Chain A
Amino acid sequence: MAIVFIVIASITVLMAIGTVTARNLFHAALFLVGAFFGVAALYATLDAGFLAAAQIIIYIGAIATLIIFAIMLSRSMMGREAGALNRQWIYAAFGALLLFVALAALVLTTTFNTTLLPVPDNVIYQIGAGFVGTYVIPFEVASILLVAALVGAIMLARERHR
């Protein structure tokens, strides 16, 4: 089972690296879709089946599609780019490496008090009960946020009548 995890994790990280280094923006979007699939597989290994399905539907089905639409709508100017990365990419790479080393050092030197309890059987019921019970206020605020984002995105991106 550790082999399966290593395979999924390495595929996800390779797809993410492809996303950030692909010169063609459309290829970067496809690598991002692959990374999202890898992350959904990681959720499945964590016994979070609902989250894995939600990840595929929302991230790949909606957000990645939106990103590809935005790439298509802004295409003509980015054809003859002089490279995918800007002038200070080496400092960014150094900063990202430093961040990863710091996080890895933190993770590897901490002992977490983990338990190996099994996940309850009625996961979907408990998630639903949580949404309308204990966490009803964040749930309603999230729906207000989504409506605001919807209206705002339409207002920002609509055609201006000249």
Chain B
Amino acid sequence: MPLVFSMTVPLSWYLLVAAALFGIGFFAVLSRRNAVAALMGVELMLNAVNINILAFWRYVRPTDLTGQIFAVFVLAVAAAEAAVGLALIISIYRTRSTINVDEIDLLKG
């Protein structure tokens, strides 16, 4: 059972899925009006990175658990960053009554 997936699914397929998720998250960050939707794109990109890390761990060096430990750290940092980002968005909404990224332009020259 443990070897079945590795035998029939090449590594490049996992990397292509991760690249697709990364591109989709990238599009979300750059093009969505709502700040929370942009944050969702960031989370998609971090998930794509984690897929990459785990795919390389499984296919290149599965006996050393460093790959999974690294992925757990990426997970923890993503959680911390999502919490702080959403707190910022809520605070901005309280003071400016909008979370449209086009209207949050106090620093604009």
Question: Footprint of B on A, CB under 8 Å?
Answer: 1-2, 5, 9, 12-13, 16-17, 19-20, 25, 28-29, 32, 35-36, 39, 42-43, 45-48, 50-51, 54-55, 58-59, 62-63, 66-67, 69-71, 73-74, 77-78, 81, 83-89, 91-93, 95-97, 99-100, 103-104, 107-108, 112-120, 123, 126-127, 130-131, 135, 138, 142, 145-146, 148-150, 152-154, 156-157, 160
Q: How far is the CA of A82 from the CA of B65 in the complex (A)?
A: 48
Number of A-B contacts (CB under 8 A): 267
- Selected contact of B71 from candidates A51, A126, A138, CB within 8 Å: A51
Whether A84 lies near B34 (C-beta < 8 A) is yes
- Selected contact of B75 from candidates A58, A103, A148, CB within 8 Å: A58
Number of interface residues of B (CB under 8 A): 81
Q: How far is the CA of A145 from the CA of B83 in the complex (A)?
A: 12
Enumerate chain A residues within 8 angstroms of B27, measured Cβ to Cβ: 20, 92-93, 95-96
Also in contact, A107 and B30, with CB within 8 A (given A13-B20, A51-B54):
no
Q: How far is the CB of A20 from chain B (nearest CB, A)?
A: 4
Whether A95 lies near B30 (C-beta < 8 A) is yes
- Most central of B41, B58, B63, B73 by chain A CB within 10 Å: B58
- Selected contact of A119 from candidates B58, B72, B75, B91, CB within 8 Å: B58
The 5 closest A-B pairs by CB, nearest first: A149-B80, A100-B23, A92-B30, A103-B19, A96-B27
Enumerate chain A residues within 8 angstroms of B20, measured Cβ to Cβ: 13, 16, 100
Enumerate chain A residues within 8 angstroms of B32, measured Cβ to Cβ: 20, 84-86
Whether A29 lies near B2 (C-beta < 8 A) is no
Q: How far is the CB of A93 from chain B (nearest CB, A)?
A: 6
Enumerate chain A residues within 8 angstroms of B62, measured Cβ to Cβ: 47, 115, 117-120
- Most central of A16, A29, A85, A119 by chain B CB within 10 Å: A16
Whether A16 lies near B86 (C-beta < 8 A) is no
